[in-house]
A and B are shown apart, each in its own frame.
Chain A
Amino acid sequence: MSPPTAGGGGTAIAHGETLYVDAIREALFEEMERDERVFVLGEDIGVYGGAFKVTDGLVDRFGEERVLDTPISETAIVGAAVGAAIGGLRPVAEMQFADFISCAFDMITNFAAKSRYRTGCGVPLVVRGPAGGGVHGGPFHSQNPEAYFAHTPGLKIVQPSTAHDAKGLLKAAIRDDDPVLYFEHKFLYRRVKEVLPREDYVVPIGKAAVRRTGRDLSILTYGAMVWTALDAARTLEAEGIDAEVIDLRTLFPLDEPTILASVTKTNRAIILHEATRTGGIGAEVAAILSERCFEALDAPVLRVTAPDTPVPFSPTLEEFFLPNAERVCRAARALIGY
Chain B
Amino acid sequence: MPDPILRQQMELYRLMRLNRSLEERLVHLYRQGKVVGGLYRSLGQEATSVGSAAALEKGDVLGPLIRNLGAVLVMGYTPKEILLQHLGRAASPSGGKEGNLHFGRPERGVVSSISMLGALVPVMAGIALAARMERKRTVAMTYIGDGGTSTGAFHEGLNFAGVQKLPLVVIAENNGWAYSTPLRRQTAAKSLADRAAAYGIPGVSVDGNDVVAVYDAARTAFERPRSGGGPTLIEARTYRMRGHAEHDGQAYVPREELETWARRDPIDRHAERLLASGGVTAADLEAIDRRIGEELDRDVVEAERSPYPPARDAIADVYAGGATEAEDVFLRRRT
Contacts A82-B123, A83-B122; is A115 near B112 (CB within 8 Å)?
yes
> CA–CA, A80 to B317, complex, Å?
23
Find B160's partner among A76, A111, A114, A178 (CB 8 Å cutoff).
A76
Q: Any chain A CB within 8 A of the CB of B106?
A: yes
Let me know if A178 and B320 touch, CB within 8 A: yes
Let me know if B133 and A89 touch, CB within 8 A: yes
Let me know if B133 and A79 touch, CB within 8 A: no
Find B106's partner among A65, A75, A91, A121 (CB 8 Å cutoff).
A121
Q: Any chain B CB within 8 A of the CB of A2?
A: no
B residues near A215, Cβ cutoff 8 Å: none
Let me know if A153 and B106 touch, CB within 8 A: no
Contacts A88-B134, A154-B318; is A79 near B153 (CB within 8 Å)?
yes
Q: How far is the CB of A104 from chain B (nearest CB, A)?
A: 9
> CA–CA, A81 to B128, complex, Å?
11
> CA–CA, A212 to B316, complex, Å?
37
Q: How far is the CB of A142 from chain B (nearest CB, A)?
A: 25
> CA–CA, A26 to B97, complex, Å?
40
> CA–CA, A86 to B115, complex, Å?
18
Q: Any chain B CB within 8 A of the CB of A278?
A: no
Scoring A81, A111, A176, A291 by chain B CB atoms within 10 A of each residue's CB, the highest score goes to: A111
> CA–CA, A76 to B324, complex, Å?
30
B residues near A120, Cβ cutoff 8 Å: 94-95, 105, 317
- The residues in B between 66 and 109 inclusive whose CB is less than 8 angstroms from any CB of A are 93-95, 97-98, 102-106
Contacts A73-B159, A121-B104; is A292 near B330 (CB within 8 Å)?
yes
Let me know if B106 and A86 touch, CB within 8 A: yes
Let me know if B127 and A86 touch, CB within 8 A: yes
The total number of A-B Cβ pairs within 8 Å is 147
Let me know if B114 and A117 touch, CB within 8 A: no
Q: Mark A191-221, 1 if CB is under 8 A from B, else 0.
A: 0000000000000000000000000000000
Let me know if B114 and A114 touch, CB within 8 A: yes
Q: Any chain A CB within 8 A of the CB of B157?
A: yes
Q: How far is the CB of B310 from chain A (nearest CB, A)?
A: 16
Let me know if A87 and B119 touch, CB within 8 A: no
Find A75's partner among B93, B133, B153 (CB 8 Å cutoff).
B153
> CA–CA, A182 to B61, complex, Å?
30
Let me know if A87 and B127 touch, CB within 8 A: yes
A residues near B130, Cβ cutoff 8 Å: 83-84, 86-89
Scoring A70, A73, A81 by chain B CB atoms within 10 A of each residue's CB, the highest score goes to: A73
Q: Any chain B CB within 8 A of the CB of A122?
A: yes
Find A84's partner among B116, B127, B159 (CB 8 Å cutoff).
B127
Minimum CB distance partner of B153 in chain A: A75
> CA–CA, A78 to B152, complex, Å?
13
> CA–CA, A121 to B159, complex, Å?
26
Let me know if A107 and B119 touch, CB within 8 A: yes
Q: Any chain A CB within 8 A of the CB of B124?
A: yes
Q: Any chain A CB within 8 A of the CB of B111?
A: yes
Let me know if B317 and A117 touch, CB within 8 A: yes
Let me know if A119 and B105 touch, CB within 8 A: yes
Minimum CB distance partner of A176 in chain B: B320
- The residues in A between 47 and 102 inclusive whose CB is less than 8 angstroms from any CB of B are 65-66, 70-71, 73, 75-76, 78-89, 91
Let me know if B318 and A76 touch, CB within 8 A: no
B residues near A75, Cβ cutoff 8 Å: 122, 152-153, 156-157
Let me know if B95 and A106 touch, CB within 8 A: no
Let me know if B123 and A83 touch, CB within 8 A: yes
Q: Mark B150-165, 1 if CB is under 8 A from A, else 0.
A: 0011001101100100
Q: Any chain B CB within 8 A of the CB of A183?
A: no
Q: Mark B117-146, 1 if CB is under 8 A from A, else 0.
A: 001011111111111011000001000000
Let me know if A121 and B105 touch, CB within 8 A: yes
A residues near B104, Cβ cutoff 8 Å: 119, 121
Q: Any chain B CB within 8 A of the CB of A116?
A: yes
Let me know if A87 and B106 touch, CB within 8 A: yes
Q: Any chain B CB within 8 A of the CB of A39?
A: yes
Contacts A86-B126, A110-B114; is A79 near B318 (CB within 8 Å)?
no
A residues near B320, Cβ cutoff 8 Å: 116, 122, 176-178
Minimum CB distance partner of A118 in chain B: B98
Contacts A76-B157, A118-B97; is A110 near B318 (CB within 8 Å)?
no
Let me know if B95 and A111 touch, CB within 8 A: no
Let me know if B121 and A79 touch, CB within 8 A: yes
Q: Any chain A CB within 8 A of the CB of B276?
A: no
Minimum CB distance partner of A39 in chain B: B133
Let me know if B160 and A80 touch, CB within 8 A: yes
> CA–CA, A88 to B157, complex, Å?
19
Scoring B119, B126, B317 by chain A CB atoms within 10 A of each residue's CB, the highest score goes to: B126
Q: Mark B45-79, 1 if CB is under 8 A from A, else 0.
A: 00000000000000001000000000000000000
Q: Mark A270-294, 1 if CB is under 8 A from B, else 0.
A: 0000000000000000000001100
Let me know if B123 and A79 touch, CB within 8 A: yes
Q: How far is the CB of B187 from chain A (nearest CB, A)?
A: 19
Contacts A119-B94, A120-B95, A292-B330; is A76 near B134 (CB within 8 Å)?
no
The residues of B with any CB-CB pair to A shorter than 8 Å are 61, 93-95, 97-98, 102-106, 111-112, 114-116, 119, 121-131, 133-134, 140, 152-153, 156-157, 159-160, 163, 317-321, 324, 328-330
- Can you list 25 A-B pairs, Cβ within 8 angstroms, ordered by A? A73-B160, A75-B153, A79-B157, A80-B122, A83-B122, A83-B124, A83-B125, A83-B129, A84-B127, A86-B123, A87-B106, A106-B153, A111-B116, A117-B97, A118-B94, A118-B102, A119-B93, A120-B94, A120-B105, A121-B111, A122-B320, A153-B318, A153-B324, A291-B328, A292-B330
